């Protein structure tokens, strides 16, 4: 129709003006049939938009368009889903505007689920918290869990089913697939292949089985760049059958970690492990014992940074190390691995043997199966299996090797045996081993179907693309790291035409048109857990609790672990290349997530980039400085990337991060950093040796948020060994200057005058304070992302971060002390200290920052004129300034995520941590309504709630029994820079480590010398190796 030829947003709005919810979708689908709509799609969809965004940094993030959301019908987002969903704390009947509801749901990563509570404001999920009842979460999340909610609102998500780029309604997709199947049925489904991410959902697993049963010729492949295939492989080698492994660190006194990023983002069970580990080493008055952590790894990780002993050790040598430990444990002859290593492992073995049944040896997922098998043998002979190590049936429905499976699929594709390839929630074109050349093989497939959140690299090469639902939009289920099953509950109707994997899979089953809820319900109806009770009750309870009772996988009993023969050491000399998922972007699926791009990587503090990590010594051998471009040549392939000097990195080794260098991730992630996959082959998907490195000249400006890495002898992080602590529990107070007494004042007041002065500042029931335990902070940065989500913190892009204008309200200061090759690593979360004598307040000319009666250092945005004097005068430099209009005021979808209780700041005003004052006020209102005072623990700041190790405690210091008061009473409690008489309300518990006396390592941070009056020249010592002297930073 001619009217449609010039179809524009206005006319679409007109045609759908009165439309709401369901009918709205229908009307859109009708629209979708007109080819004018197709043009409109071309004109308006972000996927096509990316090219006309300004390339300066990722500022594109800030300048987007609302049209896509208008299409998707933002109106629909403010409605509760039609299905009844059960709120965690209250029933939906009493939805009070302005009062968030919390719903339990689950986030799945690489097939492993973690329980979450989603905060919903009038039907908009705005923030994710951990589900305290869920074993994999214990109430906290990792950085990815915090960031995931932004992906829901990512304006670059694909928004309609497309065939060759043209929008199509679901019906025509379904029909097209039916036709395909009709043909293939004749061949028993031969030529039909599925390629999905790791299937952890029991329901989806059942669907897969059903489909394959109906079509014996069809095959289902799984592939993920970061998978647990080696875990399963290792169990298979040792015990003859694949098994899943998880650890009970709360039972462990001695923990030996071999190249495992145990607390890293996205690692199965990471949050629970961190919590259990931390519980084993909190230093309190009564503390009599502490667990001990040994870590041998090439790249410093969260676990390594907090370890009592850390050994920089090449990944390719881990097998030898594992066998050495085994030999040591079994009392055999121990082959030498070099001086430092021998001493290290000898000490570890001694401790392990001493703590039979209470120790554990943990091997990283990327280590080959053989190493896992050896670990099983060690743990078995130490009697740890069953106590600290639990073996269960695999969580993944299909536990076979993914790399092998993908390789065979590609072979078949190249052989032209694949007619229809259905790719579910995978992006193999980007993540598959480069030697398989998946893209080329894919072109040989007749019909290529891609279902995913984004119109990504794989979708580009597929005829059909189906947008899938974000986990906050769908019904599904998942298993936690210990196998506990939980329900994935939607918080909002699909924003776009998304379909859950269950719905897409159903298309290939007997009953093609089914909605996710029915599929999931039906599956659980048949399960033993539901047996013998009213299913509706069971279902409501399971959804409400966020987990299905008694669904954890039972521990397997296993026979004697077989130790596989020694794998011949990899041929070729030269550098070791080890691939690791990006610390904040995982395997690349979060590349378009502004929060996660801007969150500094925990140990390098790099934002908006990834770099090849090398040890300082190796770097100086190569004549390379941080930021210098290098070329890595390996197996005939080359990779150009900037180098970064990482103190504590294994020598002669390179860490190459996966996840950046995306081509079609969206306006945020496109072209950020380098693509590590370009070097990753199927024969060495994790690591290997024999790489050559050379400097290519030229420098990449890398936006690191911390340029200086030495404490310059200042007593900022105060640390001691457990022994020293036992001798002098108040060691923290002998390491630097202390706060002068309150009497040090210009106003020498009489006692009664002082009283009046105090009275002037009306003390109230509450005095808020915070305590941060540096003994357990792993620097994982979940708190940083949580703060972004809770406080509407703007994302500013690389160019602005380079200028030193990052906006994060909480940052984690990371210091190195001592030998650059194996330094002590300290993390110090730094946020507004809410000083009682705040230097910032005094200097503000317009009284825009003043003190509340409860001791909060309030920031009044409306009053601020932006002199920045407060920031200059803040000794902690925790204030952030909107130098430009940083907040995104345009993108509708991002607006949906905002916390309605927090002001969105505009240009030219100062901002900073408020102790989550909106949460304090919510609690105050509740307590007033109920006529009581606020209970201890009722208020958790966003950072505290996210913290996996519970290192941050917030509360009322007027209440002597509150947790925070107790902690502040600890002998290790001290205030950073308290000598400036700032009287910070945030104080720190000094770090205590538990080193093995046998390895008398000097923890360099701990020499008691007074800070030097004339310290080393900055810029000349190792501490400056990463400083960007070539950039305004």
Partner 1 sequence: MADRQPPMDSHAAPAPAGAARPPSDVLAPGHSFGSVTDKITSAILRPGFLPGWVFGFVIAFGVMSMFLFAVSYLLIKGTGIWGVNIPVGWGFAIVNFVWWIGIGHAGTLISAILLLFRQKWRMSISRFAEAMTIFAVMCAAVFPVFHTGRPWLAAYWLFPYPNSMNIWPNFRSPLIWDVFAVSTYATVSILFWYVGLIPDLATMRDRARPLIVKRLYGILALGWRGSAKHWQRYETASLLLAGLATPLVLSVHTVVSFDFAVGVVPGWHATIFPPYFVAGAIYSGFAMVLTLAIPIRAYYGMEDFITMRHIQNCAKVMLCTGLIVLYGYSVEAFMGWFSGDPYEGFMIWNRMTGNYWYMYWFLIFCNGVMPQALWFKKVRTNIPLLFCIALVVNVGMWLERFVIVVTSLSRDFLPSAWGMYAGTMWDWMTYIGTLGLFTWLMFIFLRLLPMISMFEMRTIVPSAKIKSEGGH
Partner 2 sequence: MHHVDDTPKLYGLMAEFDSATAIVSAARKARDAGYAKIDAYTPFPIHELDSALRLSRTKLPWLVFFGGIGGMLGGFALEYWVSVIDYPLNIGGRPLASWPNFVIPAYETTILCASITAVVGMIMLNGLPQPYHPVFNAPNFSNASADRFFLVVETADPKFDAAGTRQFLEGLHPLGVTDVAE
Residue 423 interaction partner, one of partner 2, partner 1, none, beta carbon < 5-8 Å per kind: none
Nearest to 788 by CA among 585, 610, 920, 596: 596
By C-beta, is 374 or 840 nearer to partner 2?
840
Cβ(717)–Cβ(991) below 8 Å: yes
Using a 10 angstrom Cβ sphere, with 0-12 exposed, 13-18 middle and 19 or more buried, the burial of residue 96 is: exposed
By C-beta, is 533 or 872 nearer to partner 2?
872
Cβ(851)–Cβ(674) below 8 Å: no
By C-beta, is 734 or 742 nearer to partner 2?
742
By C-beta, is 83 or 1007 nearer to partner 1?
1007
Judged by CB under 8 A, the chain residues 905 through 934 that form the site for partner 1 are 907-910
Cβ(535)–Cβ(522) below 8 Å: no
Length of the chain as a residue count? 1033
Spatial separation of the C-alpha atoms in residues 693 and 639, rounded to whole Å: 10
Non-local (6+) Cβ contacts of 995 within 8 A are: 292, 308, 309, 721, 722, 1001, 1003
Which residue of 286, 845, 930, 1000 would you call a contact of partner 1, by CB under 8 A?
Answer: 845
In whole angstroms, how close is the CB of 912 to partner 2 at the nearest point? 15
Residue 442 interaction partner, one of partner 1, partner 2, none, beta carbon < 5-8 Å per kind: none
Residue 624 interaction partner, one of partner 1, partner 2, none, beta carbon < 5-8 Å per kind: none
State yes or no: residue 814 binds partner 1 (CB under 8 A): yes
By C-beta, is 644 or 876 nearer to partner 1?
876
State yes or no: residue 190 binds partner 1 (CB under 8 A): no
State yes or no: residue 708 binds partner 1 (CB under 8 A): yes
State yes or no: residue 764 binds partner 2 (CB under 8 A): no
Which residue of 511, 761, 877, 1008 would you call a contact of partner 2, by CB under 8 A?
Answer: 761
Give the dihedral sign, CA 920/925/927/932.
Answer: positive
State yes or no: residue 761 binds partner 1 (CB under 8 A): no
By C-beta, is 249 or 917 nearer to partner 2?
917
Nearest to 908 by CA among 846, 852, 856: 846
State yes or no: residue 346 binds partner 2 (CB under 8 A): no
In whole angstroms, how close is the CB of 613 to partner 1 at the nearest point? 20
Spatial separation of the C-alpha atoms in residues 613 and 1028, rounded to whole Å: 16
In whole angstroms, how close is the CB of 928 to partner 2 at the nearest point? 23
By C-beta, is 873 or 971 nearer to partner 1?
873
Cβ(592)–Cβ(891) below 8 Å: no
In whole angstroms, how close is the CB of 710 to partner 1 at the nearest point? 6
In whole angstroms, how close is the CB of 489 to partner 2 at the nearest point? 45
Spatial separation of the C-alpha atoms in residues 500 and 488, rounded to whole Å: 11
Cβ(770)–Cβ(945) below 8 Å: no
In whole angstroms, how close is the CB of 916 to partner 2 at the nearest point? 21
Burial 574-612 (b: 16+ CB within 10 A, else e): ebbbbbbbbbbbbbbbbbbbbbbbbbbbbbbbbbbbbbb
State yes or no: residue 869 binds partner 1 (CB under 8 A): yes
Spatial separation of the C-alpha atoms in residues 434 and 412, rounded to whole Å: 17
Nearest to 894 by CA among 149, 98, 120, 158: 149
Residue 761 interaction partner, one of partner 1, partner 2, none, beta carbon < 5-8 Å per kind: partner 2
By C-beta, is 128 or 917 nearer to partner 2?
917
Burial 481-508 (b: 16+ CB within 10 A, else e): bbbbbbbbbbbbbbbbbbbbbbbbbbbb
State yes or no: residue 744 binds partner 1 (CB under 8 A): no
Nearest to 100 by CA among 124, 121, 131, 123: 121
Spell out, one character per residue from 638 to 667, where the chain touches partner 2: x when CB under 8 A holds, - when not: ------------------------------
Residue 853 interaction partner, one of partner 1, partner 2, none, beta carbon < 5-8 Å per kind: partner 2
By C-beta, is 984 or 1005 nearer to partner 2?
984
State yes or no: residue 757 binds partner 2 (CB under 8 A): yes
CA 456 to chain centre: 21
Helix, strand, coil percentages for the chain (3-state, nearest 5): 30, 20, 50
State yes or no: residue 745 binds partner 1 (CB under 8 A): no
**Residue 672 DSSP one-character state:** -
Cβ(771)–Cβ(675) below 8 Å: no
State yes or no: residue 881 binds partner 1 (CB under 8 A): yes
State yes or no: residue 790 binds partner 1 (CB under 8 A): no
State yes or no: residue 713 binds partner 1 (CB under 8 A): yes
In whole angstroms, how close is the CB of 773 to partner 1 at the nearest point? 19
Spell out, one character per residue from 415 to 454, where the chain touches partner 1: x when CB under 8 A holds, - when not: ----------------------------------------
In whole angstroms, how close is the CB of 229 to partner 1 at the nearest point? 39
Judged by CB under 8 A, the chain residues 963 through 1002 that form the site for partner 2 are 983
State yes or no: residue 836 binds partner 2 (CB under 8 A): yes
Six token digits for residue 402 = 């993914």
Judged by CB under 8 A, the chain residues 452 through 491 that form the site for partner 1 are none
| DSSP string across 340-385 | HHHHHHHHHHHHHHHTTTSEEEEE-TTS-HHHHHHHHHHHHHTT-B
Cβ(580)–Cβ(367) below 8 Å: no
State yes or no: residue 746 binds partner 1 (CB under 8 A): no
Max Cα-Cα span within the chain: 99
State yes or no: residue 873 binds partner 1 (CB under 8 A): yes
Nearest to 295 by CA among 261, 271, 323: 261
Spatial separation of the C-alpha atoms in residues 737 and 715, rounded to whole Å: 8
Spatial separation of the C-alpha atoms in residues 711 and 717, rounded to whole Å: 8
Which residue of 534, 760, 930, 1000 would you call a contact of partner 2, by CB under 8 A?
Answer: 760
In whole angstroms, how close is the CB of 732 to partner 2 at the nearest point? 24
Spell out, one character per residue from 725 to 754, where the chain touches partner 2: x when CB under 8 A holds, - when not: ---------------------xx-x-----
Six token digits for residue 432 = 């598959």
Residue 74 interaction partner, one of partner 2, partner 1, none, beta carbon < 5-8 Å per kind: none
Nearest to 216 by CA among 197, 199, 196, 192: 192
In whole angstroms, how close is the CB of 862 to partner 2 at the nearest point? 15
Spell out, one character per residue from 954 to 993, where the chain touches partner 1: x when CB under 8 A holds, - when not: ----------------------xx--x-------------
Spell out, one character per residue from 853 to 872, where the chain touches partner 2: x when CB under 8 A holds, - when not: x-------------------
In whole angstroms, how close is the CB of 701 to partner 1 at the nearest point? 13
Nearest to 12 by CA among 23, 28, 1, 26: 28
By C-beta, is 819 or 836 nearer to partner 2?
836
Nearest to 482 by CA among 394, 372, 557, 377: 394
Which residue of 163, 883, 904, 923 would you call a contact of partner 1, by CB under 8 A?
Answer: 883
Spell out, one character per residue from 837 to 856, where the chain touches partner 2: x when CB under 8 A holds, - when not: xxxxxx-x--x--xxxx---
Residue 330 phi/psi, 5-degree rounding, is -85, 5
Chain contacts with partner 2 (rule: CB under 8 A) = 746-747, 749, 757, 760-761, 836-842, 844, 847, 850-853, 983
Chain contacts with partner 1 (rule: CB under 8 A) = 706-714, 716, 800, 803-806, 811, 813-815, 828, 830, 839, 842-847, 863-869, 871-873, 875-877, 879-885, 907-910, 976-977, 980, 1010-1015, 1017-1019, 1023, 1028-1029, 1031-1033
């Amino acid at each position: 129709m001619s009217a449609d030829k010039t179809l524009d947003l206005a006319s679409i709005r007109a045609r759908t003006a009165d439309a709401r919810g369901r009918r709205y979708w229908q009307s859109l689908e009708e629209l979708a049939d007109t080819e004018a709509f197709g043009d409109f799609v071309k004109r308006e969809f972000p996927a096509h938009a990316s090219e006309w965004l300004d390339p300066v940094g990722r500022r594109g993030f800030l300048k987007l368009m609302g049209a896509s959301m208008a299409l998707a019908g933002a109106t629909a987002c403010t409605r509760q889903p039609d299905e009844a969903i059960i709120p965690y704390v209250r029933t939906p009947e009493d939805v009070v505007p302005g009062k968030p509801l919390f719903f339990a749901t689950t986030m799945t990563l690489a097939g492993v689920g973690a329980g979450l509570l989603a905060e919903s404001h009038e039907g908009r999920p705005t923030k994710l918290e951990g589900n305290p009842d869920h074993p994999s979460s214990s109430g906290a999340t990792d950085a990815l869990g915090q960031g995931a909610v932004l992906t829901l609102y990512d304006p670059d998500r694909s928004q309609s089913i497309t065939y060759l780029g043209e929008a199509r309604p679901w019906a025509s997709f379904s029909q097209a697939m039916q036709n395909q199947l009709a043909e293939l049925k004749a061949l028993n489904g031969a030529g039909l292949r599925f390629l999905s991410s790791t299937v952890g959902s029991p329901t989806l697993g059942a669907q897969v089985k059903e489909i394959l049963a109906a079509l014996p010729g069809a095959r289902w492949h799984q592939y993920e760049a970061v998978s647990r295939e080696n875990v399963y492989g290792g169990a298979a080698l040792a015990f003859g059958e694949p098994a899943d492994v998880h650890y009970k660190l709360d039972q462990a006194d001695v923990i030996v970690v071999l190249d495992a990023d145990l607390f890293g983002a996205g690692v199965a069970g990471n949050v629970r492990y961190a919590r259990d580990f931390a519980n084993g080493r909190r230093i309190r008055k009564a503390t009599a014992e502490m667990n001990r952590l040994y870590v041998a790894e090439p790249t410093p990780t969260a676990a390594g940074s907090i370890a009592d002993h850390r050994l920089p050790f090449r990944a390719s040598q881990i097998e030898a190390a594992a066998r050495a430990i085994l030999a040591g444990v079994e009392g055999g002859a121990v082959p030498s691995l070099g001086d430092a290593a021998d001493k290290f492992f000898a000490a570890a073995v001694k401790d392990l043997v001493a703590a039979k049944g209470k120790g554990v040896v943990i091997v990283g997922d990327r280590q080959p199966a053989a190493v896992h098998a050896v670990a099983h043998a060690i743990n078995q002979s130490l009697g740890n299996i069953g106590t600290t190590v639990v073996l269960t049936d695999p969580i993944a429905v299909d536990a076979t090797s993914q790399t092998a499976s993908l390789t065979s699929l590609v072979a078949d594709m190249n052989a032209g045996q694949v007619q229809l390839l259905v790719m579910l929630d995978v992006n193999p074109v980007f993540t598959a081993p480069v030697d398989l050349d998946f893209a080329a093989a894919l072109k040989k497939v007749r019909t290529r179907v891609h279902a995913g959140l984004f119109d990504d690299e794989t979708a580009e090469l597929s005829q059909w693309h189906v947008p899938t639902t974000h986990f906050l939009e769908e019904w599904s289920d998942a298993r936690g790291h210990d196998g506990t099953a939980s329900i994935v509950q939607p918080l909002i109707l699909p924003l776009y035409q998304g379909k859950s994997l269950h719905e897409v899979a159903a298309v290939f089953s007997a009953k093609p048109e089914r909605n996710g809820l029915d599929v999931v319900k039906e599956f659980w109806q048949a399960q033993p857990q539901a047996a013998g009770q009213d299913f509706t009750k069971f279902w409501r309870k399971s959804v409400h609790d966020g987990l299905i009772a008694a669904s954890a996988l039972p521990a397997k009993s296993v026979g004697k672990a077989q130790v596989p023969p020694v794998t011949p050491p990899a041929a070729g000399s030269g550098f070791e290349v080890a691939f690791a998922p990006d610390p904040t972007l995982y395997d690349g699926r979060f590349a378009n997530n502004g929060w996660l791009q801007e969150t500094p990587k925990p140990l390098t503090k790099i934002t908006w980039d990834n770099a090849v990590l090398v040890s300082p010594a190796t770097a100086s051998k190569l004549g390379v400085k941080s930021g210098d471009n290098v070329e890595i040549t390996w197996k005939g392939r080359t990779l150009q990337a900037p180098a970064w000097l990482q103190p504590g990195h294994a020598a002669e080794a390179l860490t190459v991060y996966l996840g950046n260098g995306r081509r079609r991730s969206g306006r945020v992630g496109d072209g950020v950093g380098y693509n590590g996959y370009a070097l990753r082959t199927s024969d060495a998907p994790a690591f290997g040796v024999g790489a050559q490195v050379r400097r290519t000249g030229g420098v990449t400006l890398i936006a690191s948020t911390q340029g200086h890495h030495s404490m310059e002898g200042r007593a900022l992080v105060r640390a001691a060994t457990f022994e020293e602590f036992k001798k002098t529990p108040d060691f923290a107070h002998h390491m630097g200057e202390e706060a002068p007494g309150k009497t040090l004042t210009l106003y020498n007041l009489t006692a009664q005058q002082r009283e009046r002065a105090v009275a002037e500042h009306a003390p109230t029931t509450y005095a808020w304070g915070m305590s941060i335990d540096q003994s357990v902070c792993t620097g994982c940065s979940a708190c940083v992302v949580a703060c972004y989500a809770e406080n509407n913190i703007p994302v500013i892009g690389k160019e602005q971060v380079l200028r030193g204008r990052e906006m994060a309200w909480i940052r984690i200061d990371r210091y190195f002390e001592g030998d650059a090759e194996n330094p002590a690593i300290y993390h110090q979360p730094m946020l507004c200290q809410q000083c009682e004598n705040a230097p910032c307040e005094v200097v503000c000319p317009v009284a825009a920052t003043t003190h509340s009666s409860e001791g909060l250092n309030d920031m009044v945005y409306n009053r601020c004129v932006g002199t920045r004097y407060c920031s200059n005068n803040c000794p902690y430099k925790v204030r952030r300034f909107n130098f430009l209009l940083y907040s995104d005021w345009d993108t509708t979808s991002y607006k949906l995520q905002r916390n309605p209780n927090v002001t969105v700041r505009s240009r030219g005003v100062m901002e900073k941590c408020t102790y989550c004052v909106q949460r304090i006020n919510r609690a105050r209102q509740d307590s007033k309504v109920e006529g009581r005072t606020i209970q201890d623990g009722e208020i958790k700041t966003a950072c505290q709630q996210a913290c996996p190790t519970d290192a941050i405690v917030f509360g009322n210091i007027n209440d002597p029994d509150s947790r925070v008061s107790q902690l502040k009473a600890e002998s290790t409690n001290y205030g950073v820079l308290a000598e400036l008489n700032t009287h910070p309300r945030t104080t720190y518990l000094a770090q205590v480590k538990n080193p093995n006396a046998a390895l008398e390592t000097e923890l360099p941070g701990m020499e008691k010398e007074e800070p030097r009056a004339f310290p080393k020249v900055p810029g000349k010592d190792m501490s400056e190796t990463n400083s960007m002297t070539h950039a305004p930073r």
